[in-house]
Structure 1
Amino acid sequence: MTIVDIPGSKSVTARALFLAAASRGTTVLRRPLVSDDSTGFAEGLATLGYRLEREADRWTVEGRPAGPAVEEASVFCRDGATTARFLPALAAAGRGVFHFDASAQMRRRPLGPLTGALRELGVTLVHHGEEGHHPLTVHADGIKGGHVTLDAGLSSQFLTALLLVGPLTAEGLTITVTDLVSAPYVEITLAMMERFGVRADREGNTFSVPARPYTATDYTVEPDASTASYFLAAAALTGRSVTVPGLGSGSLQGDLRFAEVLGRMGADVTLTADQVTVTGAPGGRLAGVTVTMRDISDTVPTLAAIAPFADGPVRVEDVYNTRIKECDRLEACAENLRALGVPVRLGRDWIEIHPARPRPAPIACHGDHRIAMAFSVTGLRTPGITLDDPGCVRKTFPGFHQALDDLRTAWQRQDR
């Protein structure tokens, strides 16, 4: 058994930063993710006037339920989707003029369902380029609240942003959702809101959030389940064993269900209260599988990267939203698999990968951390694979390549 320590969850860290900023009192965040996305979120809060102190494993945030401490600010959201979607909602609950922009990659990603909902709630905001995309300006004068209908079929982050800001409205917020993808991420949001003192009620597709201040707390961020998927997949692919502490049966993150997919492919999966262990079948044997991954779509590239080694086709269904991530991940996976000599079929919201021995080839990362990390795992059984942008992993795990190399070295030592 080899233990791998995974950095803090990107999703949990972003939500914790929002909740801390919106709370009464001072929150201590322990083991937050330190990456380009999370530091970008923290710097965005600082630009809005929130007071933060950041040490390696301990961040302190002084909350302001009234909203930003400045009357005007310009926030650059980098590539961070949580930064680009959550902070405009937070700013709208305050008073002032707040400008937001993002990288070219993030400008391409949709924002319209969220900003449309904010407009329905009376928020004045302007998109300066393509409607429904960054850059934008929020002319904030608080949010009265009320009822809004939301389509969250492209990203659950639209719903999360509204849920998080709900307690900061004057009258509370009721949200009826017409479509929802990645539902487990909404469960993370609801659980974390409750940890900060506000319980949202759900009845079917309608969420109700009271106008009630959050309360600061001491919060430890659990390891990132999406990041853990690469190391669990590595174990399944090589017939080895990996244990990730801190990710157990009580985890908030739905992406831990990727371990169940590996179990269906023949790996042995053990989940306890405080850790998960995956042990690959002898020789790294993998069975073909058909799986719906709508709710765990961030792990689609991980599965695609090991799929060629299965003994039958691997088909992933109902994952259209992967096309509007950092890149079109379905196209990127298909492009790279074909470059490796692997037969692929592709549809609007599905990909089917057939068994083949991958050949060495350069991987086109498209600036996407998940493509880079996933196909690095393929390289464990296909020497000679290279990445055209290995540094893009800094978005969520700057130390990824070293961690994977350390894992390979640990396994080699076990063989001596």
Structure 2
Amino acid sequence: MTVIDIPGSKSVTARALFLAAAARGTTTLLKPLRSDDSEGFAEGLKALGYEVRQEPGAWHITGRPEGPAHDTAEVYCRDGATTARFLPALVAAGHGTYRFDASAQMRRRPLGPLTTALRTLGVDLRHEAQEGHHPLTVTARGIKGGPLTLDAGESSQYLTALLMLGPLTAEGLAITVTDLVSEPYVEITLAMMRAFGARVTREDGPAGRTYTVEPTGYTATTYAVEPDASTSSYFFAAAALDAGRSVTVPGLGTGALQGDLAFVDVLRRMGADVSVTAEGTTVTGTGTLRGLTVNMRDISDTMPTLAALAPFTDGPVRIEDVANTRVKECDRLDACAENLRRLGITVRTGPDWIEIQPGTPTGPAEIATHGDHRIVMSFAVTALRTPGISFDDPGCVRKTFPEFHHVFEEFRRAAV
């Protein structure tokens, strides 16, 4: 059995940084993710005047419930969607003028539902070029709060940003959601907000689900970041490829916040042996990989992992309800289809689905990554059985797992 120490969760680290910055007192984050995304978030907080002290294995953030220390600042969000979506919401509760910009890749990704909601709450917000996209300027004067309607069918991050803003408003928020994708990520947000002292309730009604957030503020704490479930999926999928191969990820088990751990349930349906305990999760290959049809709306970040594994099954793999993957770092549905076809695999796609026929991938072939870390890490699984695979931008894994290629190569050698 191979034990893999997976870096901290990107999603949890980003939320923890927001909550720590908003809390009264100094928060210590244990085992936060160190990657381009999380470093970009931390640098954004520093640019706004928050005190962030980074040590190996622990980050210390001194919060400012009143908002950024600087009354003017420019923040470069790099490629980070959480940075680009969460920080404008954080500064909206403060007082000052803040300009945000991002990489060309992030400029293409939408912000519209979030910035429309902030404007509804009275935030003076201006998009400089394309409406609903970076760059943007927020002129903040605090937020009163009140009722709000939101369509989060494109990204749950819009809802998360507003939920985390709620305790910083004068009167709280009541957010009615008409559509929602990746709901488990919202559950992460709610659990973490409560760990920092917030009070949030939800109620389903005829108009949709309403989240009511009280204006409690936040209290600093010590918070341990669990391993990243999406990153773990590549090692779990690799284990499922080979009979008798077993991989354990400690610290990611029955108490995990991240919904993407449900990817192992997909592997179990395909024939892998899966054990989830309080201490961690183990996946063991059985020599069987069955085709299946699966709805991955709630765990769509692992769609590329399954797509890269799909050629080695005994029947078609159809992944449904993943339209939101078209507005990630790249159009992941098309990117997966493009690369599988380069390997000689038959693929069909639709607006929100992909269907992959079993077959033997053939190399050599260069994987078109489109600068997307998840495309690289997913097709590293395919490469375990396909000699000659290379990547046009292997370094884009720095976004979430800078050491991925080294760790995955050690993992591969352990099986030889």
TM-score when normalising by structure 1: 0.98
Q: How many aligned residue pairs are there?
A: 410
Q: Is the 8 A contact 1:229 1:258 kept in 2?
A: yes
Aligned ranges 1:15-414 → 2 under 5 Å: 15-204=15-204, 205-239=209-243, 240-282=245-287, 285-360=288-363, 361-412=365-416
Deviation at residue 190 of structure 1 after TM alignment: 0.1
- The whole-number CA distance in structure 2 between the counterparts of 1:129 and 1:104 is 13
Q: Is the 8 A contact 2:199 2:216 kept in 1?
A: no
What amino acid is the match of 1:375? F
- Structure 1 vs Structure 2 CA RMSD: 0.5
Secondary structure, counterpart of 1:323 in structure 2? helix
Identity among equivalent pairs (%): 71
Contact preservation (8 Å) 1:85, 1:157: yes
- Whichever residue aligns with residue 142 of structure 1, its letter is G
The alpha carbon displacement at 1:390 in A equals 0.4
For residues 34-68 of structure 1, the C-alpha deviation after alignment (integer angstroms, 9 at most, x for no partner) is 00000000000000000010012100000000000
Specify the code of the residue in structure 1 equivalent to 2:385.
Answer: R
Quote the offset at 1:238 in angstroms: 2.3
Aligned mates of 1:18, 1:364 — CA distance in 2:
33
Please report how far the alpha carbon of residue 209 of structure 1 lies from its aligned counterpart in structure 2 after TM superposition.
0.4
1:213 shift after superposition: 1.6
Name the SS for the 2:170 alignment partner: coil
Where 1:403 maps in the other structure, the secondary structure is helix
Residue 79 of structure 1 contacts residue 105 of structure 1 at CA under 8 Å; is this kept in 2?
Answer: yes
Q: Which amino acid aligns with 1:185?
A: Y
1:329 deviates by 0.1
Q: In structure 2, what residue type is equivalent to 1:93?
A: A
- SS of the residue 1:88 aligns to: helix
Runs of 4+ with deviation above 6 angstroms: none
3-state SS of the aligned residue for 1:382?
coil
CA distance in 1, matches of 2:255, 2:405: 28
Give the letter aligned to residue 255 of structure 2. Answer: G
For each residue in 1:206-249, what CA deviation from the matched residue of structure 2 results, as whole angstroms up to 9, or x when unmatched? 00000012000000000000000000000001231100000001
Cα deviation for residue 281 of structure 1 reads: 1.2
In 1, the alpha carbon distance for the partners of 2:120 and 2:333 equals 33
Shift, 1:176, TM fit: 0.3
Deviation at 1:199, TM superposition (A): 2.0
Give the AA of the match of 1:73. Answer: A
The amino acid of 1:173's aligned partner reads: L
Structure 2 unaligned regions, length at least 5: none
CA distance in 2, matches of 1:270, 1:212: 39
Secondary structure, aligned partner of 1:122: coil
| Partner SS for 2:415 | helix
| SS of 1:176 mapped into structure 2 | strand
Q: Distance in 2 between matches of 1:127 and 1:327?
A: 22
User: Which amino acid letter does the alignment assign opposite residue 357 of structure 1?
Assistant: T
Partners of 1:148 and 1:237 in 2: how far apart?
47
Rounded Cα–Cα distance in structure 1 between residues aligned with 2:242 and 2:71? 55
Alignment-mate amino acid for residue 58 of structure 2: R
Q: How big is each residue's C-alpha offset from its partner over 1:86-106, in whole Å with a ceiling of 9 and x where there is no partner?
A: 000001100000000000000
Mapped to 2, the partners of 1:274 and 1:158 lie a distance apart of 32
State the one-letter code of the partner of 1:341. G
What one-letter code is carried by the residue in structure 1 that aligns with 2:149? Answer: T
Equivalent residue letter for 2:129: G
Quick one: distance in 2 between partners of 1:31 and 1:166? 27
Q: Check the 8 A contact 1:238/1:381 in 2, yes or no.
A: no
Q: TM-score, normalised by structure 2?
A: 0.98
Partner Cα separation in structure 1 for residue 220 and residue 19 of structure 2: 8
Give the deviation of 1:274 after TM superposition: 1.8
The superposition leaves residues 162-205 of structure 1 with CA deviations (integer Å, 9 ceiling, x where unpaired) of 00010000111110001000000000000000000112100010
Instruction: Name the CA distance, whole Å, in 2 between partners of 1:186 and 1:291.
Output: 21
Confirm or deny: 8 A CA contact 2:71 2:97 kept in the other structure. yes
